[in-house]
Structure 1
Amino acid sequence: MRVVAKFGGTSLGNGDRVNRAADSVAAAVEAGNEVAVVASAMGSTTDYLLDAITFEADEADEAEIVSMGERTSVRMLKAALSARGVNAVFFEPGADGWPVITDEHGEVDIEETAKRAAALAERMGEENVVPVITGFLAQDHDGNVTTLGRGGSDTTAVMLGKYMDADEVVIVTDVEGVMTGDPRVVEGARNVGQITVDELRNLSFRGAEVVAPSALSYKTEGMDVRVVHYQHGDLLTGGTSIEGQFENLIDLREGTLACLTVAGRAIRNRPGILSDLSKPLSDAGINIDAVASGMDSVTFYVDGEHAEKAETILHDSVIAEETLSSVTVEDDVAVIRVTGGELPNQPGVIRKIVDPLADAHINLLDVITSATSVAVFVNDEDREQALEIIQKIEF
């Protein structure tokens, strides 16, 4: 089995933890596996280096400075592995065979990176070598050091796992995989044995620091990704498995929706207002397809056939609540949803969708976004034309 193991900063935070990491890699190699290692900077080294830059440094100099954390880590891990009889070689930007290449825009050059990663994987098999690779860092075509941004070591690991045709990527970190809640806040939080990429990506974009969202877009169906605690000591078992892969999907909802907007002064400052409005709809068996909110309004999208019933229910709430003033209804609304793991990585993706619709003089009633999707609401009479336009966009 071919494994890419990424060790986070905490898991390399001191000599004991470096030894623990080396033991786990050596054991996996001894068991007959091909292992590539991706290393973050030890502990809080990157933050320390960034804080030390109290002068005007250009982007290139800053990248060189912060790279020293990862450069130190790979040397430490390589030495610890060599002491255990493992044929380890460290790789950093500028080294022969360095795999992660970026283009002139600082984006990963997929074709070149894939080619170099495949060559490195071939070397692993032929020479029985364990590459120890700096995470977070990249190199442009001119040989300059660049970086992959926040969570870049996770991105390095999953991306290389994909292009090295790895069976599994193991993210070794300081949490017990994905938890049902923050154990520092809620009692009884437990490890989630499995979670889908869609679930985890949404959690990651909303603050869950488990796997960087940018990394998950490289996850493939045939490659396992697992998160384990550094104290576990075994790269091949335990933790949380991340299932599936992102798929780009453009979906036109069958049937029409009704758009019901409840307006009221200072509605955003009224605790529980969303619950008070949505619960009666739920009690009446009316499903809410989507919700949007403004400073002084809340909009519910429901199935068109329930429009009249929903309006009556919401009107009762308006009458009963002095902070609310009125409810209005717009019928015959269509929604087109664009879903894909790469969407958050694309600057200007909303404009990419909205501009062609505006050029076609299609009025947008609403646009609602999440971590991995964009929902566009239009008049039902425009549904087919809007769908056709969006289907032609390259995401």
Structure 2
Amino acid sequence: MRVVAKFGGTSLGNGERVNRAADSIAAAVEQGHEVGVVASAMGSTTDFLLDAITFEADDADEAEIVSMGERTSVRMLKAALSARGVDSVFLEPGAEDWPVITDEHGEVDVEATRTRAQAVAEAYLAKGIVPVMTGFLAQDHAGNITTLGRGGSDTTAVMLGKYMNADEVVIVTDVEGVMTGDPRVVEGARNVGEITVDELRNLSFRGAEVVAPSALSYKAADMNVRVVHYQHGDLLTGGTRIEGQFENLIDLREGRLSCITVAGRAIRNTPGVLAQLTTALADADLNVDAVSSGLDSVTFYVDADLAQEAETVLHDTVVGSDTLSSVTVEDDIAVIRVTGGEIPNQPGILRQIINPLSDQHITLHDVITSATSIAVFVDWDDREEALRTVQQEF
């Protein structure tokens, strides 16, 4: 099996942890696996270097300085592997066979990186040699050092895993994997054995520091990605497995929706209002397609065939509440959803969708966003023109 293992800063935080990392790599190699390694800067080295820059440094100089953290890590790991009799080599920007290339805008040059990553796989992995590569760092076509931004080492690992045709990418970090909740806050948090890439992307963009969102965009459907704790000691088992890949889709829901809005001037200051409304719908076995909220209202989108029953249920809740004042229904709504892993990384993506619809004089009833999708609600009669307009933009 071909594995790319990424070791985060905490997992390389001192000599003991470097030895633990080297032991796990050596064990996988001894079992006959091909292993490539991506290394972050040891501990808080990058923060230390950035804090030490108390003068006006340009981007090129800053990149050179912060690169020293990763450059040190790969040398440490390579030396530890050599001490265990593992044939290895370290790779960093400037090396003839360095794989990660960026263009003039600082974005990854996909074709150049794919070609060079495949060459590294053939030169080292296929021959049983462990390449230990700097995470986070890249170089442009002129040979200047560039960086991949926050979470760049995760991005390096998953991207190279994809382009090297790895069977699995293992993110070695200081958490047990994806947890049901933050163990520092909630009691009884436990490891989630499996999670989809869409679920994790949404969690990552909302504060869960497990795998960098930018890395997940590179995950292929046939490549496993796992997150394990550095104390686990085994690269090939345990942790949380991330399933699937992002699909870029523009989808028009087939059936009509109805929009049911519940108003109440004290909604925003009254805990439990949303739970009260959704519980009433759930008890009536009524499914909700989407929910949006304002300062004084909550809107539910439901299948048009369920609208009358849903309105009755919500009206009963309104009548029995001191917080809520009224419920109203608007029929013949259509929804178009744009889904894709790169959505959060595209500046102006909402404008790219909304402005063309406005130019066509298509009224928007609502726009609901998440980390991986944008849902646009329009009149049912405008649905086909709205779909064509959005498709033309993507």
Question: Within 5 A, what are the aligned runs for 1:174-189?
Answer: 174-189=174-189
User: Is 1:11–2:14 an aligned residue pair?
Assistant: no
In structure 2, distance between residues paired with 1:273 and 1:126: 59
Q: Using a 3 Å threshold, how does the CA distance of structure 1 residues 57 and 322 change in structure 2: closer, same or farther?
A: farther
Secondary structure at the aligned position of 2:317 is classed as helix
Cα deviation for residue 93 of structure 1 reads 1.3
User: Are the equivalent residues in 1 in contact too, given 2:34–2:126 (CA < 8 A)?
Assistant: no
The residue type paired with residue 177 of structure 2 is G
In structure 2, distance between residues paired with 1:294 and 1:54: 45
Q: Residue 193 of structure 2 corresponds to which residue in structure 1?
A: 193
Number of equivalent positions:
394
Q: Using a 3 Å threshold, how does the CA distance of structure 1 residues 127 and 277 change in structure 2: closer, same or farther?
A: closer
In structure 1, distance between residues paired with 2:355 and 2:116: 37
Runs of 4+ residues over 4 Å off in structure 1:
none
The residue type paired with residue 95 of structure 1 is A
User: Are the equivalent residues in 1 in contact too, given 2:35–2:125 (CA < 8 A)?
Assistant: no
In structure 2, distance between residues paired with 1:126 and 1:152: 26
Q: How large is the RMSD of aligned CA atoms in angstroms?
A: 1.7
Q: 1:324-348 deviations in whole A, cap 9, x for unaligned?
A: 3433321110011122222222222
In structure 1, distance between residues paired with 2:127 and 2:313: 71
Question: Within 5 A, what are the aligned runs for 1:233-272?
Answer: 233-272=233-272
Cα deviation for residue 121 of structure 1 reads 0.5
In structure 2, distance between residues paired with 1:306 and 1:32: 58
Q: TM-score, normalized by length of structure 1?
A: 0.95
The residue type paired with residue 385 of structure 1 is E
Q: Using a 3 Å threshold, how does the CA distance of structure 1 residues 62 and 269 change in structure 2: closer, same or farther?
A: farther
In structure 2, distance between residues paired with 1:230 and 1:91: 22
In structure 2, distance between residues paired with 1:125 and 1:17: 24
Q: Residue 169 of structure 1 corresponds to which residue in structure 2?
A: 169
Cα deviation for residue 131 of structure 1 reads 1.0
The residue type paired with residue 283 of structure 1 is D
In structure 1, distance between residues paired with 2:125 and 2:23: 21
Q: 1:337-393 deviations in whole A, cap 9, x for unaligned?
A: 122222222222222222222222111111101111111100000111112222333
User: Is 1:39–2:58 an aligned residue pair?
Assistant: no
Cα deviation for residue 126 of structure 1 reads 5.5
Question: Within 5 A, what are the aligned runs for 1:1-395?
Answer: 1-125=1-125, 127-394=127-394
In structure 1, distance between residues paired with 2:266 and 2:147: 44
Cα deviation for residue 266 of structure 1 reads 4.3
In structure 2, distance between residues paired with 1:201 and 1:143: 32
The residue type paired with residue 174 of structure 1 is D
Secondary structure at the aligned position of 1:179 is classed as coil
Secondary structure at the aligned position of 1:170 is classed as strand
Cα deviation for residue 56 of structure 1 reads 2.7
In structure 1, distance between residues paired with 2:125 and 2:140: 27
The residue type paired with residue 179 of structure 1 is M
In structure 2, distance between residues paired with 1:4 and 1:308: 54
Deviating more after overlay: 375-384 vs 55-64: 55-64
Cα deviation for residue 306 of structure 1 reads 2.6
In structure 2, distance between residues paired with 1:326 and 1:316: 10
The residue type paired with residue 255 of structure 2 is G
Structure 1: gaps of 5 or more residues: none
Q: Using a 3 Å threshold, how does the CA distance of structure 1 residues 143 and 328 change in structure 2: closer, same or farther?
A: same
Q: TM-score, normalized by length of structure 2?
A: 0.95
In structure 1, distance between residues paired with 2:239 and 2:203: 17
The residue type paired with residue 209 of structure 1 is E
Deviating more after overlay: 182-191 vs 62-71: 182-191
Deviating more after overlay: 343-352 vs 164-173: 343-352
Q: 1:14-58 deviations in whole A, cap 9, x for unaligned?
A: 000001111111121122222111000111111222222233322
User: Are the equivalent residues in 1 in contact too, given 2:104–2:140 (CA < 8 A)?
Assistant: yes
Q: 1:90-114 deviations in whole A, cap 9, x for unaligned?
A: 1111111111111111111101100
Cα deviation for residue 265 of structure 1 reads 2.3
Secondary structure at the aligned position of 1:132 is classed as strand
In structure 2, distance between residues paired with 1:306 and 1:361: 29
User: Are the equivalent residues in 1 in contact too, given 2:154–2:211 (CA < 8 A)?
Assistant: yes
The residue type paired with residue 9 of structure 1 is G
The residue type paired with residue 382 of structure 1 is D
